[in-house]
Structure 1
Amino acid sequence: MTNSLRRMSIGRLILYVLGFGLAVIWLAPLVWMIVTAVKPAGSAVTVMSELFKAPFTLDNYKYVLGNASVWSWTLNSSLVALVVTVLTLLINSLAAFALSRIRFVGKQLIFWLVLMGLMVPIEAKIIPLFQIMVDLNLINSYPALILPSLAAPLGVFILKQFYDGIPKDLVEAAKIDGAGLLRIYWSLFLPLSRSSMAALAIFTFVTSWNNYLWPFLAVTEEKMMTLPVGIPTFQSAYTAELIIPMAANVLASLPAILAFILFQKHIIKGITMTGIK
C-alpha cells in the first residue's frame, strides 16, 4: 500500500511539474509584453537582465489612448465581436435544436456536412468569401466583418451533443402542456443549456476579437479597421521601437483576458456538461 501511495505521489509530482512548466511557457510572452509596455522609450526590452529594472512609466498608455484611431478600432472590434457572438448563439442553438429534436429527411447528412465544415481551414475559404463580398459590394462594411463569422460548425456540434442528452420525458411533458417547438426551444432547451451557451459565447467573442486574417482582407479603410488589423499598422510607424506597440497590444488584450477570467467556471462547466448524456 505504501509503494502504491509513493507511486501516486511521484506521478502527481511529475504532473504538477509539467503543468507548472506549461504555465510558464504560456505566461512568459504575456509577462514580457506587460513589462515592456511600462518601460520608457529607448529601453533595452530585448535584454532580459535589463527588462525588469527601473524606471517604469505609464506614459506609453497615455500616448496610445490619446490616439483617435485606437478608439475607433476598439469600437469596431467591440461592435463586431458582440454582434457575432449574439447571432452565432442564436443561429447555432436553433440549428442544434433542429438537428437534435426535429425529424426531417436528410438530417443525418446535414449533420455530417456541418461536421465536415470543421475540417476546412479558413485559408481555403478566403478567396470565395472575398469574391462574394466584392459581388455584394460589402467590402469596407460591418456586414463584411460579421457575416462570414456566423458559420460556426463547432458551436452546432457542442450544443447538439448537449441537447441530445436532455431527457425525452421533459419534451413530451412540454408537448402535453401545449408547447410548440419554438416554445420548447425557448423555455426548456435554452435555460438548460446556459453553461454550454456561456462557454460558446466566450469562445466566439475571443475568436472574433482576435480575428486578423479576414478583417485584414475585408477592410482597407482605416476607420473600419478592427484592433488586430489596426495595431500592426500603428506598429509599422515604430519599426525600431517595441514599447509603444506593446502598450497598444496590452490594451487590446484586456477584454479577452477579462472575459476568460470572469467566465472560466462557465467555460469548464459548459465543456464538461456537453459530454454528459
Structure 2
Amino acid sequence: MEGIRTRVKIGRVFLYIFSYSFVLVWLIPMLWMVITAIKPDGSPVTVLSELIKPPFTMDNYQYVSENASIWRWTWNSVYIAVVTTALTLLLTSMAAFALSRIPFKGSKLVFWIIIAGLMVPTEATIIPLFMMMVDSGLINSYSSIIFPSIAAPLGVLILKQFYDAIPKELVEAAEMDGANKLRIWWSIFLPLSRSSMAALGIFTFISSWNNFLWPFLAISDEKMMTLPIGIPLFQSGYAAELTIPMAANMLASLPALLVFILFQKHIIKGITMTGIK
C-alpha cells in the first residue's frame, strides 16, 4: 500500500513538472513581448543579456498611439465582437428553443441542415459571400463583418442539447399558468442555460476578435479596420524594427487578455461542457 502511494506521489510530481513546463513555454514569448515593447527604439532584443538590461521606456506606446489608428481599430474590434456575440446568443438560443420545444413538421431535417453547416469550411463561402455583400452595398461597413458571423451551428447544437435536458414538467407548469412560448423561453430556458450561454458567448467573442480572413476581404477603409487587420498593416512599415510593433501588439492583446482573466472559469466550464456534448 505504501508503495502505491509513493508511485502516486511520484506520478503527481511528474504531472506538475510537465504542466508547469507548458506554462513556461507559453509565458516566455509573452514576457519577451512585454519587455521588447518597453525597450528604446533600435535596441537589440534578440540577445537575452541585452534584452533584460536597462534602459526601458514607455515612448513606444506613445508613438503607436500618435502614429497608428490603434484606438479606432480597438473600438471597431470591440463593437463588432460585442454586437456579434449578442446577436449570436439571441439567434442560437431562439433557434435551439424552437428545435427543442416547438414541434413542427420537418424539425429534424432543419436541425440536421443546420448541423451540416459545421462541415462547410469558411473558405468555401468566401466568394459567394463577398459577391452578396457587394450586391447589397455592405462592403466597408460593420454589417459586412457582423451578419456572416452570427450564424453559429455549433451554438445551436450545444444549446439544443442543453434545452432537451430541461424537464418537461417546468414547461407544462408554465403553460398551465398561461405563459406563451416566448415567455417560457425568456423566463425559464435562458436563466437555466446561463452557464452554457456564458461559455458560448466567450468563445464567440474571442472568435470574432481574432477573425482575420473575412474582415481582410470585406474592409479596405483604414478607419473601418479591426485590430487583426490594422496591426499587420502598421507593422509592415517596421520590417527590421521590433520594439514599436511589439508595443502595438501589447495594446491590441490587452482587451482579449482582460476577457480571458475575467471569464476564465466560464471558459474552462465551456470546454468541459463542449467535450461532454
Q: Same fold (TM over 0.5)?
A: yes
TM-fit CA distance, 1:276: 7.6
Aligned residue identity for 1:4: I
The equivalent of 2:195 in structure 1 is 195
Confirm whether residue 211 of structure 1 aligns to residue 197 of structure 2. no
| Residues 274 and 97 (structure 1), Cα distance of their counterparts in 2 relative to 1, 3 Å cut | farther
The equivalent of 1:230 in structure 2 is 230
The equivalent of 1:141 in structure 2 is 141
Confirm whether residue 110 of structure 1 aligns to residue 110 of structure 2. yes
The equivalent of 1:127 in structure 2 is 127
Q: Name the SS for the 2:166 alignment partner.
A: coil
- Give the whole-Å Cα distance in 2 for the aligned partners of 1:124 and 1:47: 44
- Give the whole-Å Cα distance in 2 for the aligned partners of 1:113 and 1:56: 56
Q: Name the SS for the 2:105 alignment partner.
A: coil
Aligned residue identity for 1:53: K
Aligned length, in residue pairs = 277
Q: Name the SS for the 2:239 alignment partner.
A: coil
Percent identity between the aligned chains? 68
Larger CA deviation: 188-197 vs 260-269: 260-269
Q: What 5-or-longer segments of structure 1 have no aligned partner?
A: none
Q: What 5-or-longer segments of structure 2 have no aligned partner?
A: none
- Residues 161 and 275, structure 1, Cα contact 8 Å, conserved in 2: no
The equivalent of 1:74 in structure 2 is 74
| Residues 274 and 184 (structure 1), Cα distance of their counterparts in 2 relative to 1, 3 Å cut | farther
Aligned residue identity for 2:171: V
- Give the whole-Å Cα distance in 1 for the aligned partners of 2:185 and 2:275: 20
Matches within 5 A, 1:1-277: 1-67=1-67, 69-272=69-272
| Residues 68 and 40 (structure 1), Cα distance of their counterparts in 2 relative to 1, 3 Å cut | closer
- Residues 34 and 246, structure 1, Cα contact 8 Å, conserved in 2: yes
TM-fit CA distance, 1:68: 5.6
Larger CA deviation: 207-216 vs 3-12: 3-12
TM-fit CA distance, 1:252: 0.8
- Give the whole-Å Cα distance in 1 for the aligned partners of 2:10 and 2:108: 47
Q: Name the SS for the 2:132 alignment partner.
A: helix
Deviations for 1:193-249, whole angstroms, at most 9, x for unmatched residues?
Answer: 111111111111111111111111001111111111011111111111111111111
Aligned residues: CA RMSD = 1.8
- Give the whole-Å Cα distance in 2 for the aligned partners of 1:9 and 1:115: 45
Tell me the TM-score normalised to structure 2 length. 0.93
Tell me the TM-score normalised to structure 1 length. 0.93
- Give the whole-Å Cα distance in 2 for the aligned partners of 1:80 and 1:266: 21
| Residues 45 and 73 (structure 1), Cα distance of their counterparts in 2 relative to 1, 3 Å cut | same
- Give the whole-Å Cα distance in 2 for the aligned partners of 1:113 and 1:79: 30
- Residues 68 and 234, structure 2, Cα contact 8 Å, conserved in 1: no
| Residues 265 and 146 (structure 1), Cα distance of their counterparts in 2 relative to 1, 3 Å cut | same
| Residues 23 and 186 (structure 1), Cα distance of their counterparts in 2 relative to 1, 3 Å cut | same
